[in-house]
């Protein structure tokens, strides 16, 4: 049966509720066209005749794999290297100089998407702490699809928006022959990174504590209750004195009282008192 390209308001409402339950994401009514565009391809690939049938599939016990595909399609967001560069300047100029020498600097990119943020962090830390220095980065995302891209560290040259030429020449390997027009993040950087699928809307796994957590440009999709729950979970993963950095259009005002504002979008868990 050919797939229908239309969705009823009731069907869309069910998908809104489902993605909220899974990921804490509030899908606005204005996103109905986006949902139809992204999921309509799956209906055609699976030979389903309606969004109602697709909903039945992704909510069935046997639909776990397709449910993850749905999440991947509905949560993928655009990103680029050195996005909101002031945050990386703060990392280099304020956080790194104050970090105890010889102690690993642990950083978590909690909404890593396709990895540009992770490798921007890696380049900044390689420059300021040395490419063989004591620093590590965890990259996580709810989407397995984008996380796989991030782990590969392989990008097309048109994806170099924001990446200084000097860094690209120093930390990236230019593709040749069949890989011409692309570049690979250098192994010396990638050895400092690890990746894990994490749903911030559920209890967090045992991933250790971090000195810096980047949670940027994802809370705009959460309602206030979800923001409070997610931020509370992340704050528990901060070392005393650790920093939580959010996107330039985001704020933790009224969301969490444990972290203190350092400057707009940069918050700190107070250090442990002697």
What are the residue numbers of the active site? 38, 141
Helix (H) or strand (E) holding 268: strand 266-268
Give the integer Cα–Cα distance in Å for 171 and 189.
7
Place of tokens 């967090």: 204
Place of tokens 């993850």: 68
List 105's β-bridge partners, or say none.
135
What DSSP string describes 46-66?
HT-S-HHHHHHHHTSGGGHHH
Task: Evaluate the CA torsion angle 156, 84, 247, 94 in order and state its sign.
Answer: positive
C-beta of residue 215 within 8 angstroms of C-beta of residue 111 = yes
Helix (H) or strand (E) holding 105: strand 105-109
Q: Which residues contact 178 (CB under 8 A, 6 or more apart)?
A: none
């Amino acid at each position: 049966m050919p797939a229908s390209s239309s969705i009823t308001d009731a069907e869309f409402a069910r998908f809104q509720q489902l993605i909220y339950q899974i990921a804490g994401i509030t899908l606005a009514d204005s996103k109905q066209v986006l949902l139809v565009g992204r999921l309509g391809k799956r209906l055609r690939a699976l030979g389903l005749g309606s969004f109602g049938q697709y909903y039945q599939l992704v909510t069935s016990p046997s639909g776990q794999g397709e449910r993850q595909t749905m999440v991947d399609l509905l949560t993928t967001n655009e990103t680029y290297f050195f996005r909101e560069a002031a945050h990386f300047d703060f990392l280099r100029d304020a956080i790194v100089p104050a970090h105890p020498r010889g102690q690993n600097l642990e950083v978590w990119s909690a909404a890593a998407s396709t990895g540009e943020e992770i490798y921007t962090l890696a380049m900044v830390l390689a420059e300021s702490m040395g490419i063989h220095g004591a620093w590590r980065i965890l990259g996580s995302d709810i989407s397995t699809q984008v996380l796989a891209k991030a782990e590969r560290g392989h990008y097309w040259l048109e994806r170099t928006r924001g990446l200084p030429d000097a860094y690209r020449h120093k930390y990236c390997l230019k593709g040749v022959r069949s890989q011409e027009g692309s570049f690979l993040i250098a192994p010396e950087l990638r050895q400092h990174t690890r990746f894990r699928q994490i749903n911030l809307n559920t209890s967090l796994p045992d991933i250790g504590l971090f000195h810096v957590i980047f949670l940027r440009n994802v809370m705009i999709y959460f309602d206030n209750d979800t923001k409070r729950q997610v931020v509370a979970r992340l704050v528990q993963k901060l070392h005393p004195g650790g920093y939580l950095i959010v996107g330039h259009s985001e704020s933790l005002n009224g969301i969490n009282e444990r972290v203190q504002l350092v400057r707009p979008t940069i918050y700190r868990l107070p250090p442990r008192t002697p």
